[in-house]
Amino acid sequence: MTTYEAFNRPQRFLRLRQFSGKAVSILVTLVGLLLLTFTMGRLLPADPVLAVTGSEVDKATYERVYNELGLGEPIWRQFASYIGRMLTGDMGQSLTTGRPVAQDLLTVFPATIELALVAMLCGTLIGVPLGIVAAVNRGKLIDHIARIVGLAGHSIPIFWLGLMALFVFYAKLRWVGASGRIDILNEGLVPPITGLMLLDTALQGEWDVFRDALSHIILPGAILGYYSVAYISRMTRSFMLEQLGQEYIISARAKGVSRRQMIWSHAFKNIRVQLLTVIALTFGGLLDGAVLIETVFGWPGLGQYLTRGLKMNDMNVVMGAVLLIGIVFLTINIISDKLYRILDPRTR
């Protein structure tokens, strides 16, 4: 064995152990999330049998459906049976739609991703510059405005803001489209490729449908994005204030470095890794916030699908949606961690 091989052997073993540890951690997190959701669902007062049969059902039919759903077995056995089906790719049937849950999720999830991407774009393009300007002009009017924007974003209920925005911009001004993802006259005109309506219509050159889809998504995306603006701008301001008080900034000023270069080439360069984590976690949080927005705007995404499943006590839907959201959160964390290590060699 050469010296090089002898040196790299423990390194490979260490990387393998780290990968195995992360894989086990992810698996335990997902199983724990499913177990918690499954147990809470079984403790709810709603009856899933009545969601299938309706309230006017005879006793014999009720007992037959009750046994078919496996509700007579202990909770741990029901959960073990569900996990066993999950390992084969079977997420069960939806009681509300009658279709496989996996098929439903593939249909509704792209709509939520598209809405979250538009909101994240608004939040990043507005929140980051606003936070930087507020930090550079600490104590001035723009700083107070940015802080008020952040405070309002965390205080105003998102459903109320959505209803008011619909009333003003759709009912009164007619600047945006109505509820839903697209006008009913344009439904089915563009075959789905990625599931993202704006991207699919642009790729196929259907610009009339693109403008229609844009008019429908711009308002819910902006409302959802406003809450990310509030958080991103506040965190950006905090990070920038910390950097502007460091000694290297004082030294740069003494050397005659321009204000623009000091802000963007020095201070911002040192906060971009922290901002990456904030933006990544904010994107995951937008999936939760989309539940209320999708309900207000009639957006056919994961939030509305999950809400309908909760109302009907459709646990297959709830479990599938929660698992998908958990996977998205874990994926975002893993990607942001990798990017963190790329941008900041000190963390490797």
pLDDT band at 318 (very low <50, low <70, confident <90, very high): confident
Average pLDDT of the residues in 69-93: 77
Please name the amino acid found at residue 141. L
pLDDT band at 10 (very low <50, low <70, confident <90, very high): low
Ranking 7-21, 91-105, 186-200 by mean pLDDT, the lowest is 7-21
* Residue 7: per-residue pLDDT: 47
DSSP annotation string for 139-155 = TSHHHHHHHHHHHHHHH
Q: Where are the alpha helices (DSSP H) in the chain?
A: 3-43, 48-53, 59-68, 75-87, 101-136, 141-155, 158-165, 197-203, 207-244, 247-254, 259-261, 268-297, 302-311, 315-343
* Residue 47: per-residue pLDDT: 66
Q: What is the pLDDT of residues 247-300, one digit of tens each?
A: 888 887 788 778 888 888 888 888 888 888 888 888 877 876 677 888 888 888
Average pLDDT of the residues in 66-88: 76
- Report how far residue 227's alpha carbon sits from residue 27's, in angstroms, rounded to the nearest whole number: 31
Q: Does 152 score more than 80 pLDDT?
A: yes
- What mean pLDDT, rounded, does the chain reach? 81
Ranking 55-69, 141-155, 169-183 by mean pLDDT, the lowest is 55-69
* Residue 42: per-residue pLDDT: 67
Residue with more model confidence, 348 or 234: 234
Ranking 128-137, 221-230, 289-298 by mean pLDDT, the lowest is 289-298
Closest among 304, 305, 292 to 162, alpha carbons compared: 292
Average pLDDT of the residues in 48-67: 72
Average pLDDT of the residues in 145-153: 84
Domains, the chain, ordered by start: 3-87 (no CATH), 102-347 (1.10.3720.10)
Find the Cα–Cα–Cα–Cα dihedral 306, 322, 102, 120, rounded to 10°.
Answer: 80
Q: Does 345 score more than 70 pLDDT?
A: no
Q: Does 32 score more than 70 pLDDT?
A: yes
Residue with more model confidence, 13 or 244: 244
Average pLDDT of the residues in 60-72: 74
What's this model's pTM, rounded to 2 decimal places? 0.82
* Residue 54: per-residue pLDDT: 66
* Residue 193: per-residue pLDDT: 86
Q: First CA to last CA across the chain, in angstroms?
A: 27
pLDDT band at 331 (very low <50, low <70, confident <90, very high): confident
Q: Does 1 score more than 60 pLDDT?
A: no
Average pLDDT of the residues in 58-71: 74
